[in-house]
Amino acid sequence: MKNNNVVIHIYDSSNKLVITRWLEELVKELVAYSMPLNFSFEAIKCQCIIMRTNILKQMKIFQVEGEELIKKGISLEDFPNWKPIEEYGEIWKEEYENNNERLNRAVAETEGQIIIFNEKPIDARYHEVCGGSTENSENVNGNIILYLRKVLCKYCQESPNYKNFKDISINEIEGKLGVKFPFIEANDNGAIENMIYDITRDDTGRIAKLTIAGKEFEGKNVKDLLGLDSTKFSWQPQKIRFLMIGKGDGLGFCQWGANELAKEGKSAEYIIKYYYTGVELKKIAEKSINKPLLGKVLVIDPAHGGEQGEDHVSANGLREKDLNLDIALDLEEILTEMGAKVYLTRREDTYVPITERAKLTNKIKPNFFLTLHQNFMKNSNVSGTEIYFYRGDKEAKLLGQLLMEKMTEKLETINRGIKIAEFFLLREINVSGVHIEVAYLSSEIDEAKLMKKEFRHQVAEAISEALSLYYNFS
């Protein structure tokens, strides 16, 4: 059952622990809490594929406190209900062996399968009961996600949570919503639509007549029938019953609907494609020493092309635009050999407006964007490498750390820091991105290095090594 080439690190930040699991073992443990295991087998297979997809989608680099090693894995905060399979003994009791066997079989039959859209793992959202239709992503998250489209679902009506209610006290509602209901006096007409309405009072405030649930009463009759002290009365609810259809946010995969589709004989692939629009199932390739970036999409931006590019020029006539393009072409070749799909914003000495580069990147939606530059200062004594990322882009900061480590080590340049910047491209792209200032054209030391083709090739090698480490599962 194990895919021995994929080890997942699980970071427990509260206990400052790193736990390791084989990918397929972790899938089994996540499915154990996320779906009833008495569901139809094809539905359980769907959940295996969903959880495996979400593991790979959530993979990130994290710094373990007290250690210098940056690890690639998932945070327990993303999967807070995870627990080792052995701990389900007390929960499942006599069903433990049967549930364990079903999970083993479902994981084995879906081993390595994930859900992709545009060649990338999707955010495989799921919920228990959609209540008749799933939701469009923009109605939940505010963002349009093409594979999270509303689909009609008549299949979850037999769920015990298809219709439900919850009674909440007025005090609790006021506290949680930060509101205050008005105080009702005994002679206030607090009509409740379709329940208590058409209220008539005399000039002293006593109820002469009213309608309750469609039936008209005199005030004195209500007083006698309900045992009230007076006909000068009103009403105020102490609890409100909220009536609900469905359970969950309605995004993506409806588990009870999937169970019914599985009972009808539909396959896991059919069910997944029913709930996620336009997706494909793909088996993740086993990690290869020669293809560590297989499946990754990257955009490389060799900045300052053409005569309008406003590039820097060294004392000896070395042009920034030429250096950036030369490094980018080398980098494209190396990254492609490592399995990545690489896009360049230019392939020759042409001017591409910065707005067009941002537009292209947002259309491609790569895993990462890297823009290449050479620095310049009036003070020729300043040299070294600088890397910038946009405020709040944690992934870019982490990649920046790896880039700086690899570049300064391989190129023997000075580490001038990883810094926050509000650069247009970093701000306007909708993906993580880094701005790399390889060296200083104004520095005699750096200029001498940049003149050498071997050095420029080493720049590409250092960047590719950092990306390989960033995306390395194990």
How confident is the model over 144-156, as pLDDT tens digits?
A: 999 999 999 999 9
Helix orientation angle between 96-109 and 23-34, rounded to the nearest 10 degrees: 130
Please say whether the beta carbons of 239 and 17 come within 8 A.
Answer: no
| Pick from 172-186, 220-234, 269-283, 427-441: least confident | 172-186
Q: Which amino acid is at 100?
A: N
pLDDT at 70: 57
Please say whether the beta carbons of 366 and 323 come within 8 A.
Answer: no
Binned at pLDDT 50, 70 and 90, residue 359 comes out as: very high
pLDDT at 20: 86
Q: Which H helix or E strand runs over 408? A: helix 394-411
Those residues with Cβ within 8 angstroms of residue 415's Cβ, 6 or more apart along the chain or in another chain = 384, 385, 404, 408
Give 112-166 pLDDT, tens digit per residue. Answer: 999 999 878 899 999 999 999 999 999 998 889 999 999 999 999 989 889 999 9
| Pick from 37-51, 69-83, 301-315: least confident | 69-83
Question: Higher confidence at residue 471 or residue 202?
Answer: 202
Give 193-211 pLDDT, tens digit per residue. Answer: 889 999 999 999 999 999 9
The CATH number of domain 297-470 is 3.40.630.40: yes
Using CB atoms within 10 A of its CB, is residue 80 exposed (0-12), middle (13-18) or buried (19+)?
Answer: exposed
Give 365-408 pLDDT, tens digit per residue. Answer: 999 999 999 999 999 999 999 999 999 998 999 999 999 999 99
Distance CA 365, CA 61 (A): 20
pLDDT above 50 (res 2): no
The encoded tokens of residue 329 equal: 């072409």
Kindly list the domain boundaries of the chain, sorted by start residue. Answer: 7-126+259-283, 182-232, 297-470
Binned at pLDDT 50, 70 and 90, residue 4 comes out as: very low
Please say whether the beta carbons of 219 and 189 come within 8 A.
Answer: no
DSSP string, 45-108: HHHHHHHHHHHHHH-EEEEPTT-S-EEEEEETTTSTT---GGGGHHHHGGGHHHHHHHHHHHHH
The encoded tokens of residue 239 equal: 């609890």
| Mean pLDDT score, 405-426 | 96
Binned at pLDDT 50, 70 and 90, residue 473 comes out as: very low
Q: Which amino acid is at 393?
A: D
Distance CA 445, CA 270 (A): 61
